[in-house]
Each structure stands twice: as structure tokens, then as C-alpha cells.
Amino acid sequence: MDTPPPPENLTRFDQVMRQLSKLFFLLGFVVICGQLWNLWKKPSLTDVPSITVTRTVPTATYWLYHWSAMELVLVTDGAATQDPCRKGIVGRFETVQCTLRFTDGTVVPWMSYANGRDRGWVEVHGRRYPLYGRGYVLLIRADGAKGESTMVHRATMPVFPAGAEGPALEAWMATDPLLAPLAPAFAAEP
């Protein structure tokens, strides 16, 4: 079926208004899509990690951190304590900021951000490491100054059973090439 031709009596004003209404509709659609994108990508409030288990021996310390969908094993080569963590703002991100204090005087500030889903990051002395899910190990060595950090992902890290995280973590540390040199220190202490 043929479409009828446009009426001849449309004025120039009517034609311009039709074109403008199409343009405004398209512009409105783009703005709405942009706002939805921003809402989806906007960081949610930072989850504060829970410390499932921690242990300090004379030459090393470890903490097992859990967020809603992420996990981090923080190990120090050298005995350390952690000051109470606090929330802060870095850029547009709400972060959890902590400080490790080693017995040799090394002070290591570190911070974490978790988006409430399954990703985030950990930053030590301006170096940012990604977190995507579980299986991450952050090793910080004391050096009398600011410390040295190494972060690795271990896809083979087991799920540590609730209530027995410490012994399971220490047994796994003994099998990990990065952490095996520290494992005897934990095994030697009851």
C-alpha cells in the first residue's frame, strides 16, 4: 500500500518543529542511556573487609580478609601489627585505609576498595593491585623504611573451612612457592 504524500500545506515552521522533536527525542534517549550507564558503573559504598583469622609469630604475621565476594591473604615477612582501619576518600572512591607497623620500624600504609560485587583493588605505597574474586596473596616485607610489596593470584588457593581457617591457611602456605619460606615460622609456634 502506498503511503500518502505529505500535505502540501505544511509550513516551514511545521517542518522545523518535526525535525526538532525528532532531535530532542534522540537527545533524551542518549541522556537517559548515559545516566543509566553512570548508575551501573558508579562505585557503591565500600565494603569493609572482615578479618577471618590473624596470627603473629616473632618473624611473620598473616591476616585473611574477606569482602562480600573477594578474599585476600595479607602476609608480612617480619612481625607486624595493624592500626585500626578507617574509611577515607581517594578520588571518587570510598576506601578502607590501614597501616601496618613492623617491629623494625617499617610503616606501611595500605588501602582497599571493593565495589560490593566481585572486584576492587588494594594499594600499597601508590602501587595498585587488582582484586577480582578470591585467591589473592599480598606479601609485604619489612626493610626498615617503607617496605616492599608483592601481590600474586593463586587460582589453586583452597576454600578455607570456617572455624579452621588458620591451620588450613598455614598448611597451604607451606605448599606455595612465595610463602613456603615463612611457613616454618608459623609451624614452629603453637
What one-character-per-residue DSSP string does 69-129 give? Answer: S-EEEEEEES-EEEPPPEEEEETTEEEEEEEEEETTS-EEEEEEEE-SSSEEEEEETTEEE
What number is the average pLDDT over the span 17-23? 86
Domain positions in the chain are 14-43, 50-188
The model's pTM is 0.70
What's the confidence (pLDDT) of residue 117? Answer: 66
Mean pLDDT computed over every residue of the chain:
82
pLDDT in tens, 50-91: 788 888 888 889 988 887 778 888 899 888 888 888 887 777
* Residue 1, pLDDT score: 59
pLDDT tens, position by position, 100-119: 888 888 889 988 887 766 77
| pLDDT class of 174 with cuts at 50, 70, 90 | very high
pLDDT of residue 176: 92
What distance in Å separates the CA atoms of residue 164 and residue 149, rounded to the nearest whole number?
A: 27
Residue 13: the pLDDT is 80
Neighbouring C-alpha atoms within 13 Å toward the C-beta of 131: 30
CA 82 to chain centre: 19
